[in-house]
Amino acid sequence: MGRGKIPIKRIENQTTRQVTFSKRRAGLLKKTHELSVLCDAQIGLIVFSSTGKMCQYCSEPLRMEQIIERYQKLTGTCIPENDSREQLFSELAVLRKETRRIQLNMRRYTGEDMSSIPFEELGELEQELERSVAKVRDRKNELMQQQLDNLRRKERMLEEENGNLYRWIQEHRAALEYQQGTTIEAKAVEHQQVLDQFPFCGEPSSVLQLATIPSQIHSYHLQLGQPSFHGSGV
């Protein structure tokens, strides 16, 4: 059973198209070489792939330039030489003309050389300038509003930082005052305990009272050491 006939149309699948191109290009070059050798034909073959890659075949001992030159003589056609300088000069002239036109239009918008402008174009120019001024003013107001919003946001941030700093100071001040008060109370209690242990360290009047305490204690001991006279007389 033979293969089915392949329809002659563009292959949509890129991979299949590349594979088919490689196979058929090899077959075409092979048949071209056979035709050139068997029939002593002068053949020049140039092929460009879909990707831009070129392959060629030329019958020996000729060169491709000789084949092309012979083709031109027989057909009467001539391939024009591409002078890059002339092309550059032409493009430069076009650019200069366009630059001149733009410069003239810019002078109209700056108010220069207004004598050659007719009345109708002056009205159109005035409307364009008014629209341009309105756009500039809108953009300016937009930027000013953005700056104002940024300043307000910074102001709120500074107010929050100031409030936090104020609360921190108040908290630490209250803690410091509480610590100082506790220290004073502790010192007062300690001082009172010392006074309780040493009564003579009190007021000066108590010190004078303490001066009589040793004599009272001495007389008390003497009374205990004396015998009872009333008992010895009995």
For the segment 24-80, what is each residue's pLDDT rounded down to a tens digit? 999 999 999 999 999 989 999 999 988 888 889 998 888 888 888 888 888 877 666
SS3 category, 54: strand
Give the total residue count for the chain. Answer: 234
Q: Token pair for residue 116? A: 């050659």
- Tens digit of pLDDT for each residue in 170-225? 888 877 777 777 777 666 667 666 666 655 554 444 444 444 444 444 444 444 44
CA separation for the pair 132, 138 (Å, rounded) = 10
- Tens digit of pLDDT for each residue in 88-136? 888 888 898 888 888 877 777 777 767 777 777 778 888 888 888 899 9
Find out whether 33 and 57 touch, Cβ atoms under 8 Å: yes
pLDDT at 152: 93
CA separation for the pair 44, 54 (Å, rounded) = 13
Find out whether 59 and 42 touch, Cβ atoms under 8 Å: yes
CA separation for the pair 1, 40 (Å, rounded) = 38
Domains of the chain and CATH, by start: 14-79 (3.40.1810.10)
Rg (Cα) of the chain, in Å, rounded?
A: 60
Find out whether 87 and 79 touch, Cβ atoms under 8 Å: no
Please list, in sequence order, all residues whose beta carbon lies within 8 angstroms of the beta carbon of residue 70, skipping any fewer than 6 positions away: 42
Categorize the per-residue pLDDT at 151 as very low, low, confident or very high, splitting at 50, 70 and 90. very high
Phi, psi of 45 (to 5 degrees): -125, 125
Q: Please classify residue 167 by burial: count the beta carbons closer than 10 Å to its beta carbon, then call 0-12 exposed, 13-18 middle and 19+ buried.
A: exposed
Please list, in sequence order, all residues whose beta carbon lies within 8 angstroms of the beta carbon of residue 128, skipping any fewer than 6 positions away: 109
For residue 80, the one-letter residue type is P
CB atoms within 10 A of CB 58: 19
pLDDT at 139: 92
Find out whether 20 and 7 touch, Cβ atoms under 8 Å: no
Q: What's the DSSP call for residue 2?
A: P
185 alpha-carbon distance from chain centroid:
60
